[in-house]
Amino acid sequence: MAVDVSQVAQLEVEPGTLPETMAAWVIREERFGEPTEAFQVEEIEVPEPGAFEVVVRVMAAGVNFNNVWAALGEPVSVFRYGDHPEFGHHIGGSDASGIVWKVGDGVTRWKPGDEVVVHCNQASYEDPEVHGLDPLAAPSQMIWGYETTWGSFAQFTKVQAQQLLPKPAHLSWEEAASYGLTYFTAYRMLLDRAKLQAGHRVLIWGAAGGLGVFATQLCALTGADAVGVVSSDEKGALVEQLGAKGYVNRNEFAGMLRRGGESPEEEKARFKESRRFTKAVEGILGGPPDIVFEHVGKATFPTSVLAVKPFGKVVICGATSGYTLDFDVRYLWMRQKEILGSHFANAWEATKANELIEQGKVRPVLWQTMGFDKVAEAHQLLRDNKHLGKISILVGAAAEGEGRRGEGPGAIRAEVGA
Ligand SMILES: NC(=O)c1ccc[n+]([C@@H]2O[C@H](COP(=O)([O-])OP(=O)(O)OC[C@H]3O[C@@H](n4cnc5c(N)ncnc54)[C@H](OP(=O)(O)O)[C@@H]3O)[C@@H](O)[C@H]2O)c1
C-alpha cells in the first residue's frame, strides 16, 4: 500500500492508545545496496510493548553510520540478529526523541506523555552481566535500530524502558534526536575506557564527524588538549569552534593512509608521510598524544599506533575504511602502547553524558534537519562523506524548533558542507 509520508506528523490517537499501522522506512534483504535503493517506505503494524518495554511516538530521529552498513548488508547482514528473523524487516534508526505513548507491564518510571530521548543499548534483564559487570558484556547485548528492528525511522518505536532518558527541555525535537549514539559512544571511549584526564593530549580522527564533534567537546570540557583531523578547512574551523587546540587537514598528508597491498617501497613512502603527520600533530599539541580516538580503521590505524606516545592508548570503536587492520606491531610493544576496543555505552554512562547536555556543557552539533521523506538520501550523504556533524529527521514534529520548553543553548549549527 502506498504511504503518504507528508502525513506522518498527524495522529488520531491519544497517548496510551496505539494505531494499528504506521509509516516506516524499511530495509529488506533483497534490496541490500546503496542507501537510496535499500530504504523504502512501507506501512507496517505498530508493535505492542512487552514487559519492561515502552512504545514511543518518534518526534525526530537521528541519522547514524550504522544504518549505512545495514543498507549495504555489510560487513554482515542485520537479518541474522535480534528480532529480525521474527519480523522479517529492518526498521533502522538508533537515535530518537519522542513521547512515551504506551508502557508495558512492569514499567514504573515512565508514563504516557513523558518526553524522552532514547539510548540505543539493549540487553536482557536476565543476563547476570547486566547486574554486575556491564550490559555491553551481556550475550544478549544489541544495538536497537541496527541489530534489532523497530528503530526510529517510523512513527512509533519499541524500546526497553531502561533505554529512556529525560529529553533536555531546552532542545527542540530535532536537536534532542541528534546526539545519543555518537555522543554516548565518545563519552565511554574517552572517559571510561581511555580514562581521559585534564592535561592529556588527544588526537581525534574525523573530528568534524558524528563521533568527533563530541570527542572534541569532551576534551575541552575535561581540560585536555585535542587536535582534530579533518578533510577541509571549513571542518577545521568547526573543530576549533568546538574547543580543539588546532586541526590537521588530512589532504595534506594523503600518502599516510593505508590502502592495503602496498609494495615495500610504497609502504616505506607511506611510513614517511605518517612520520611527517605525527610531527604536525606534536607541533600543535606540544608533544605526542596520550590518547588517539580511532574509528576510521584500516586507513589510519598504523598511523594511530605510531603517533600515540609510549604507554599511550588507542581507543577504537569502528572501522569506516575497513576492519582488517595491519600495522607495525614493534611500535606497540617496544613503546608499551595499548589498544582498547569500545562499543556504545551503558545506561549509566548515557545518563551522565545526557546530564552534561541538560546543563548546556556539551551541545549537539546539527548540520541539517530533513523531512521524513529524506531518510534514504540522508544515509546516502553519510555513505558519500558529504555531511558535517549530524542530520536529524522530523517524524512527529511538523517543523523545526518544536519541543523547546526551557532556556539554554541549543545545538551548534554546522554551516558548511564538505
Ligand atoms: N561501536 C560503536 O558503538 C560506534 C558508535 C558510533 C560510530 N561507530 C562507527 O564509527 C565510525 C564513524 O562514525 P561517525 O558517526 O563519526 O561517522 P561520520 O559522521 O561519517 O564521521 C567519520 C569521519 O571520519 C573521517 N573519515 C572517513 N573516512 C576516512 C578515511 N578513509 N580516512 C580518514 N578519515 C576518514 C571523515 O572525516 P574527514 O573527511 O573530515 O577526515 C568523517 O567525517 C563509523 O564506522 C561508525 O559505524 C561505532
Beta bridge partners of 43: 23
Distance 212 CA to ligand 1 centre (A): 8
Cis peptide bond N-terminal to 75, omega within 30: yes
Asked if residue 390 has its Cβ within 6 Å of ligand 1, the reply is no
Residue 3 has pLDDT above 90, yes or no: no
Atom 23 in ligand 1: which residue has the minimum CA distance?
206
Average pLDDT over residues 338-363: 98
Q: Quick one: which atom of ligand 1 is closest to the CA of 143? A: 3
Chain centroid to Cα 226, Å, comes to: 20
Residue 63 has pLDDT above 90, yes or no: yes
Task: Give the pLDDT of residue 414.
Answer: 82
Q: Hey, which of 136, 183, 230, 296 would you mutate to test ligand 1's pocket, going by the most ligand atoms within 8 Å of its Cβ? A: 296
Average pLDDT over residues 139-158: 98
Alpha carbon distance 234, 253 (integer Å): 17
Average pLDDT over residues 194-207: 98
Q: Which residues contact 25 (CB under 8 A, 6 or more apart)?
A: 39, 40, 41, 42, 91, 92, 93, 153, 154, 375, 376
Residue 1 has pLDDT above 60, yes or no: no
**C-alpha angle 374-376-381 in degrees, rounded to nearest 5:** 90
Instruction: Please classify residue 184 by burial: count the beta carbons closer than 10 Å to its beta carbon, then call 0-12 exposed, 13-18 middle and 19+ buried.
Output: buried
